[in-house]
Amino acid sequence: MSTPAPQVKEIPYDKIRAVEWETGRLKLIDQRILPARLEHLYLDHLLDAAYAITDMVVRGAPAIGVTAAYAVVLAARDRYQENPNGWQKAIQPDLELLALARPTAVNLRWAVGQMRGVIYSGIVGDPVPRLLSEAQRIHAEDIAANRRMGELGAALIAKDSGVLTHCNTGALATGGYGTALGVVRAGFAAEKIKKVFADETRPWLQGARLTAWELVQEGIPVTLIADSAATYLMKQGKVAWVIVGADRIAANGDTANKIGTYMTAVAARYHKVKFMVVAPTSTVDMNTPDGSKIPIETRAEAEVLNFGGTRTAPEGVQAWNPAFDITPAELIDAIVTEKGVVEKPTREKLAALMKKVKN
């Protein structure tokens, strides 16, 4: 028997869901077109979900994981219909393809691994109800983890602080509520945070398009800055904490996150601004010894050569577009997870934290 999904209660500033299961279909907010339009896509097959992850209809490490879990339900439905006796074998290539949809966020592989465990747990008959309940458990646990991290992270922040966040780590990037943006939500509700600054997060503009949209929906005031303004913001003493999410945390605490996170962490240390990484334990990868072993996704040159669909660089120019960078553990003041806070992370401290995670 698996653990039942936790109940999700109503709390302030928690209106948005990027990933939903609705009448037997996977429903996603199309994040490629926000904030111009709020539109949903309805998906029926794993291949469509894998493409949605690669093309950033849905993005953000935990949201990718939750989407992948529901995608496995879609694949099981198809494979069972085609071959009720051999679906467990037939679904293998689907799982492998799905796990490759994006390389850096370890939550994708983690969620596929959780679903694979259920597939080979000796299901008899139609696998959909059992797999759907596992996907819904993963989804609900992600929201519960985010709310817990919100409380733990907000507790570290002094009253009336200014904070800076990078990329989008909110409801759009998770099962709901958000990781770093969950701390912003909880900190704002508790009157710990009085001013929120968001990096626009060039080139894909997760900060300008998604974080700003999300906070406006929730009624939390936000001030957008160009990424290159972050250091000057710190120099002015306007922020006490930088709060970011993670796509993968290596066993020694080195953290992969959206490109630009590393330079923000370097600037924060120089200006004595604290640096907080907020991520569920499903983002901690004890099989990756340090940041140098984390695969970094390189995306299309077009994302850098264009702005809002308009070419901004001359023809004949090349671009380099790494989607993530690695912040060394020594620049991180606190890693906040649902199992507790690790201050000044080390290999030993993370190993102790991960002992609290049962499998």
Rule CB under 6 A: which residues touch ligand MRU? 59-62, 105, 167, 169, 173-174, 179, 206, 245-247, 257-258, 323
Of the two residues 43 and 108, which places its CB atom closer to ligand MRU in the complex? 108
User: Could you tell me which of 259, 301, 269, 233 has the C-alpha nearest to residue 104?
Assistant: 259
Does residue 146 contact residue 176 with C-beta atoms inside 8 Å? Answer: yes
Which residues make Cβ contacts (< 8 Å) with residue 241, sequence separation at least 6? 156, 157, 161, 163, 164, 273, 274, 275, 276
* DSSP state at residue 252: T
Which residues make Cβ contacts (< 8 Å) with residue 352, sequence separation at least 6? none
Q: What is the largest CA-CA distance in the chain?
A: 66
Q: How many Å apart are CA 257 and CA 61, to the nearest integer?
A: 9
Quote the least distance from Cβ 61 to ligand MRU, whole Å: 4
Does residue 306 contact residue 236 with C-beta atoms inside 8 Å? Answer: no
* DSSP state at residue 187: H
Of the two residues 136 and 174, which places its CB atom closer to ligand MRU in the complex? 174
Distances (CA, A) of 115 to 21, 50, 51, 98, 173: 16, 15, 19, 12, 20
The secondary element (H helix, E strand) that includes residue 117 is helix 106-119
> Position of tokens 């553990």?
329
Find the catalytic residue in 94, 142, 247, 333.
Answer: 247
Quote the least distance from Cβ 67 to ligand MRU, whole Å: 11
Of the two residues 76 and 164, which places its CB atom closer to ligand MRU in the complex? 164
Active site residue 247: yes
User: Could you tell me which of 336, 356, 327, 332 has the C-alpha nearest to residue 346?
Assistant: 332
Task: State the residue number with the nearest CB to ligand MRU.
Answer: 245
Of the two residues 245 and 345, which places its CB atom closer to ligand MRU in the complex? 245
Of the two residues 59 and 79, which places its CB atom closer to ligand MRU in the complex? 59
Q: List active site positions.
A: 247
